[in-house]
Structure 1
Amino acid sequence: APEHGAEPAGVLACAGFASLDESLPLVVYDPAIAEWQYRQQMLMLDVEQALRSGEMWLEYQPKINIRDGRIGSLEALIRWQHPEFGRISPSQWIPLAEEVGIIHTVTLWVLDRACRDSHQLREQYGRDITVAVNISAKDLAHSLFHEEAGAIVRRHKLEPANVSLEITETAMMTDPDTARSTIRTLSAMGFRIALDDFGSGHSSLGALAQFELDELKIDRSFLEGVLDYPSRQKILRAALELGTALDLDVVVEGVEDETIALWLHQFPGLHGQGYYWGRPFSLEHRNR
């Protein structure tokens, strides 16, 4: 059709974009789809350059002792301000980084920056503060990851115990045998291991049984309707008590209002994380 290009090259380009959708036998070219595909391709190409150019930075979200309000740990969250597309949510580009095989580079960059920032964070919030970094399945499968992580920590004159590695159950169960071996090695080195988003996958109890853990992060989905439905309160209570029975530090994710925070006060030693205590902050104080 004329709107799909007046020249043969333009028509072929539109057909190429349409053919990328393999889910349907017949696909009509849609400019919006082409724009989305162009954006995805550019993001895949730009990730490594963004790490070098200063387009990416870290923000930190505290894990708060719900009873006394003290910060126990700070989770490092990567942010990206793209020069063409603006602020890019991690959910939009992290899967792309995994797909093209550069997520390991991203992880090491985050770990290095978090360890660098750790000294300033500990001066501000206490010497017992740990920094937490998210780890992917690709990192767990990387044969040298434990050596690379150890080298980064030593370079910044920290102990592995100052760093928590947060791993989702999905990442753990992608290749359980390899993940178990890597986690065992990291734990033996002194790194803290946290099971992230507990309850969001299909094998939560299996992950608890198979892996050496220090911390259990309860997924935000457990809070949905918890004040309105006694059955949901019982489920959340059981998850919290399970973590405590296993001698794990327990963190509830996604706490966003006072009523939830007050309800959680009944559980001693519990930590929470969420917008109720404030949004993630950057040490760089950038106006983005």
Structure 2
Amino acid sequence: MRGPWSSIQSKLVFLIAGISMVTVLVGFSLVTERFAQSLRDSLENDSLSLAQRLVVDSAAYLSLGMAGQARDNLLDKVVLNSPHSLALFDEQGGLFAEIERGGGQIVVDDYRPESAVIWESDWLHIYQPVEDSLDQRIGTLYLKISLSQLSHRMRAFVGVLLVLLLVMLALAYFLARLMQRYISGPILTLADISRQVRDHQNYSLRAPVKSSDEIGVLSQTFNDMLETIEQQQAFRDKVEQSLRIKEERLERAVAELQYMANYDSLTGLPNRALCMDRIELAIRHASRTRTYAGIIYLDLDHFKDVNDSLGHAVGDELLKATAERLSDVLREEDTLARIGGDEFVIITTDFSSSDQIIPLVSKVVERFEQNFTVGRYSVQSTVSLGVCVYPDDGDSVDALMKAADAAMYKAKDVGRNTYAFFEAEMNRMAVWRQQLGSELQHAIDRDELYLVFQPKVALESGQISGAEVLLRWEHPEFGSVSPADFIPVAEHTGLIYRIGLWVLEQACEAVSRWRDVGLEGVTVAVNLSAAQFRQADLVEHIAAILARHNVPPQTLELEITESMLVRDVDQAIRMLKRIKLLGLRVAIDDFGTGFSSLSYLRKFPLDALKIDRSFIMDLGKNRDDTAIALAIISMASSLRLKVVAEGVETPAQWSFLAGHLCDEVQGFLISPGLRESEFISFYKSFSLDEVIASRNV
């Protein structure tokens, strides 16, 4: 509860009024005292003057002893407003004459011979000696005057002063009230603004600065403080806003990370991690309900070729279209996940037998026989599916995934665009492929890979015109590993890029050595994989290798397959033109097994066609194969392309091809693949007649 002295306003009023009151009271006291002293001095002076005149007038009467005349003289000469008494004493102190006018009776005891002025509370006593002409004291005049008149005047004066005092005090209080506004007003304004700042947290308020005195300095300092607080508040608000934004971003980032940790960003499907969790849930559900659960491992056939030829953007759209197509054939309770690249997994549950999964996988295969429309492209992309069943093929996530993966590879091995159920034997093949992939990563560094060169002979001259480079792998534990086993693994793992460049490097290095030993004009043919052919910097790598070994470009021939050309004709033509500008030769390998047409072949800048060994095997025996071989030779002749027959193993095949204008042959009839040193020796000692004769034995 606030008291009367709780505010500075009240304190200032009372302080100013109190000081004014003390000042006025002191002044009042001084004036009163001064006025009283003035009245006493005036009364004393007037009384002394009167006494001195009376002494002169009374001296004669006193010396002649004329008491009556002396009294009459006193009565006549003394005129006073105040009560008084007057007496003459003779030299011996006897009362000679007296006048009593309210001053009381004078007695002998009042006598005092010497001159004196005596003030009492109510009376003034004056003694004045009376002297004769010879200055001899002959008596004493005594005047006794009442102070009542003086007291009355003092009371009147004090009354007036009291009125003035009250007026002055009232004026002082009014002035104090007025003055405190100039002092406390700005302070009260500061207090009010402070309360507003406290109540509303509004730091933009400012106190008015109306003076340069201490109050003005205080107001300015208060404003500076508010300015500082406002800036700090703004900075804090900015920091808090920034923190809120960062917190929101962090929450979004956490949500995104959680999404990214569980879902594929391209298709929106569950990713590998979430897929593993769903398989675990499916296992628990099947175990609890005593039903079967199916794990279907799905891989797009030739997706790498689509991705490399049409670009990653088309490949991504194909993956999204694949996800949509798969989702359309699945039940709501089934799970579809993308576990990486072009690999998907379907988790399906609640089957009473494994055979009930067959309609689902058959439907998937059937749906993918229809081409995809991706942008302006019509893309054919079939699927290979591997199927395993819980609990028959495994009781853990890892076991089931390995089983489904093995079954998927089996589906690819049997021709793709189909499905295969897991069998126990597949585990061994899966382990074998895994081992090959692991060992193949170190095969180059360990010098386990090497090249062999299978000679090619020109039928017209009967001389060795070149050789096809074949890659071999001699593993210290596995022994000789077939290219049919490790090349698909290299393509699947991406090692084909490094291995392909290594083969080109080794082949050109060999040609450089051959030139040093006199094998001029011998060409080498190197097979390119689809992935290599669509490698953007392939031509630059080849140019660098040729320059590094000083090998003429025309001595290097690149062999590609039909399927690599027809998947994206425009891209293939661009790549072939770049290769031809470098001066290299290009041949189509295994011609006749693909889907090339004459119109396509006329567009491609090619140098040779290689008839697939499947048509050479029964040449002269099988009417269809013979017709195909002759058609290829005729077509190549019309296109001015060189024809090479591969897989020639008998003199009869040789004779047939020689009689029908085939340009070159290669095969076991001439020689299998030879190590470099063996090839050089074979080349230098080669005689076609001796070789043919030896094979007729």
- Give TM class, smaller chain: 0.7 to 0.9
What is the deviation of 1:115? 0.3
Structure 1 SS opposite 2:429:
helix
Gaps of 5+ in 2: 1-393, 412-418, 679-697
Counterpart of 2:660 in structure 1 is 267
Q: Equivalents in 2 of 1:207, 1:189: separation in Å?
A: 22
Structure 2 SS opposite 1:250:
strand
Q: Equivalents in 2 of 1:125, 1:258: separation in Å?
A: 30
Q: Which runs of structure 2 are paired with 1:8-47 in the superposition (5 Å)?
A: 12=396, 14-20=399-405, 21=407, 27=422, 30=424, 32-47=425-440
Residue identity over aligned pairs, in percent, reads 34
1:73, 1:130 within 8 Å by CA — same for their partners in 2?
A: yes
Counterpart of 1:53 in structure 2 is 446
Task: For 1:143, give the aligned amino acid.
Answer: A
Structure 1 SS opposite 2:497:
helix
1:198, 1:204 within 8 Å by CA — same for their partners in 2?
A: no
Q: 2:608 aligns with which of 210, 215, 221?
A: 215
Gaps of 5+ in 1: 1-9
Alpha-carbon spacing, 1:64–1:204, altered in 2? closer, same or farther (3 Å): farther
Counterpart of 1:282 in structure 2 is 675
* 1:121 corresponds to 2:514: yes
Structure 1 SS opposite 2:551:
coil
The count of residues paired between Structure 1 and Structure 2 equals 274
1:40-67 deviations in Å (ceiling 9; x for gaps): 0121222231012110000001111124
Q: Equivalents in 2 of 1:15, 1:194: separation in Å?
A: 44
Q: Equivalents in 1 of 2:450, 2:541: separation in Å?
A: 21
Alpha-carbon spacing, 1:233–1:46, altered in 2? closer, same or farther (3 Å): same
Q: Equivalents in 2 of 1:68, 1:25: separation in Å?
A: 51
Task: For 1:65, give the aligned amino acid.
Answer: A
Counterpart of 2:483 in structure 1 is 90
Counterpart of 1:186 in structure 2 is 579
1:140, 1:183 within 8 Å by CA — same for their partners in 2?
A: no
Task: For 1:278, give the aligned amino acid.
Answer: S
Q: Equivalents in 1 of 2:624, 2:518: separation in Å?
A: 38
Alpha-carbon spacing, 1:18–1:219, altered in 2? closer, same or farther (3 Å): same
Task: For 2:427, give the aligned amino acid.
Answer: A
1:131, 1:164 within 8 Å by CA — same for their partners in 2?
A: yes
More helix as a share of residues: 2
What is the deviation of 1:145? 0.7
Task: For 1:250, give the aligned amino acid.
Answer: V
Q: 1:195 aligns with which of 568, 576, 588?
A: 588
Q: Equivalents in 2 of 1:192, 1:26: separation in Å?
A: 45
What is the deviation of 1:230? 4.7
Task: For 1:105, give the aligned amino acid.
Answer: R
Alpha-carbon spacing, 1:111–1:27, altered in 2? closer, same or farther (3 Å): closer
Task: For 1:272, give the aligned amino acid.
Answer: V
Q: 1:106 aligns with which of 468, 478, 499?
A: 499
What is the deviation of 1:38? 1.0
1:114, 1:131 within 8 Å by CA — same for their partners in 2?
A: yes
2:562, 2:589 within 8 Å by CA — same for their partners in 1?
A: yes
What is the deviation of 1:89? 1.1
Structure 1 SS opposite 2:462:
coil
* 1:238 corresponds to 2:628: no
* 1:62 corresponds to 2:62: no
User: How large is the Cα RMSD of the aligned pairs?
Assistant: 2.3
Counterpart of 1:132 in structure 2 is 525
Q: TM-score, normalised by structure 2?
A: 0.37
Q: Equivalents in 1 of 2:587, 2:420: separation in Å?
A: 44
1:130, 1:162 within 8 Å by CA — same for their partners in 2?
A: yes
Q: Equivalents in 2 of 1:26, 1:244: separation in Å?
A: 48
Q: Equivalents in 2 of 1:204, 1:43: separation in Å?
A: 37
2:469, 2:526 within 8 Å by CA — same for their partners in 1?
A: yes
Alpha-carbon spacing, 1:219–1:269, altered in 2? closer, same or farther (3 Å): closer
What is the deviation of 1:26? 6.5
What is the deviation of 1:15? 4.2
Structure 2 SS opposite 1:234:
helix
Q: Equivalents in 1 of 2:460, 2:517: separation in Å?
A: 20
Alpha-carbon spacing, 1:152–1:26, altered in 2? closer, same or farther (3 Å): closer
Q: TM-score, normalised by structure 1?
A: 0.87
Structure 2 SS opposite 1:41:
helix
What is the deviation of 1:244? 1.6
1:214, 1:249 within 8 Å by CA — same for their partners in 2?
A: yes
Q: Equivalents in 2 of 1:148, 1:253: separation in Å?
A: 28
